[in-house]
Structure 1
Amino acid sequence: MIDKKFIGHEFEPFTTTIEKGRLKFFAKAIGETNPIYFNEEAAKAAGHKSVLAPPTFPFTLSLESEDPFPVVTALKLEIGRILHGSQEFEYFAPIYAGDEITVSSKIVDIFDKKGGALEFVALQYSFTNQDGELVATSTNTLVYRNG
């Protein structure tokens, strides 16, 4: 069983630069056709300062630390037993190409179902820009299969 003493555990925050090419690639990968997500002129014409990050893009930022899966390391989980259970986002301000985003994360809950056959780890992420403005939060729930 995953030790519940890890509830509240905070991982080392890190900062990453949002590159225009990555935003364009992500927009293409998700089938986004609105040019504000890949064309600088279209983004500026729509009132944005640069190319805008598409919805769900912050998830990719959580994978950019030195250890892209710190929860696996901290909890000593076998990666082959992990499933992505759910992902929720809340947005407060746009993320743009050129922004410096600091990613902070912590374990907010650990619980089990089916008599411990399935364990769940809820992680909360905060994304803050170079101006100290919270631009988004995300909650990611992982499912760990025992047995």
Structure 2
Amino acid sequence: MPVSTDVIGTELPPLTMTIDPGRVRFFAKAIGETLPDGIDPAKIPVPPTFLFAIELDQPDPFAWLTALGIDLALILHGSQRFIYHSTAAAGDTLVARPRIVDVYSKKNGALEFIVKQTSVTRADGTPVADLISTLVVRHPETAQ
């Protein structure tokens, strides 16, 4: 079932996360990034792609897709872009405000693209980053 372009502009519920230093260390280690010696554990800089985890840190991070009637088995992660405004650090409280900014199809509807932009700010409203992700919904019944 195609996703209606009427969802463009839909704001999803905001998410708030206080960045835990241990979690930042674990993430940095997982991606092979080394942290400077002697840094205050409460102020570890957040690796740039860590911000992607904010939206995944909820009980059902894909509920918005199922609410649109999308079968999660047909989803592919198409792309992820980051536009940085400032560096976040452990201890910062960040607020993510996602919204759907585009829906379009290709290959006569066999592939549908949903573009979501998430503005990440500190609790005081200071911009940190904009995350732009594109999800691809396959419609195998439409493929030719």
Check conservation: 1:17, 1:101, Cα contact below 8 A. Answer: yes
Check conservation: 1:11, 1:70, Cα contact below 8 A. Answer: no
Structure 2 counterpart of 1:107? 100
Matches of 2:115 and 2:40 in 1, distance apart?
Answer: 34
* Runs of 5+ unmatched residues, structure 1: none
Residue 105 of structure 1 aligns with an amino acid whose one-letter code is P
TM-score in terms of structure 1 length: 0.88
Aligned-residue CA RMSD (Å):
1.6
Matches of 2:32 and 2:124 in 1, distance apart?
Answer: 30
Matches of 1:52 and 1:93 in 2, distance apart?
Answer: 11
CA deviations on 1:113-146 (whole Å, 9 max, x unpaired) are 0000000000000111122101011100000000
Detail structure 1 runs of 4+ shifted over 4 Å in the superposition.
none
Size of the aligned set, in residue pairs, is: 139
1:98 is paired with a residue whose SS is coil
Structure 1 residue 66 displacement after superposition: 4.3
TM-score in terms of structure 2 length: 0.90
2:33 is paired with a residue whose SS is coil
Structure 2 counterpart of 1:12? 13
Matches of 1:117 and 1:125 in 2, distance apart?
Answer: 26
Matches of 2:9 and 2:26 in 1, distance apart?
Answer: 34
Which of 33, 42, 52 aligns to 2:39? It is 42
Check conservation: 2:78, 2:135, Cα contact below 8 A. Answer: yes
Pair 1:84 & 2:84 matched: no
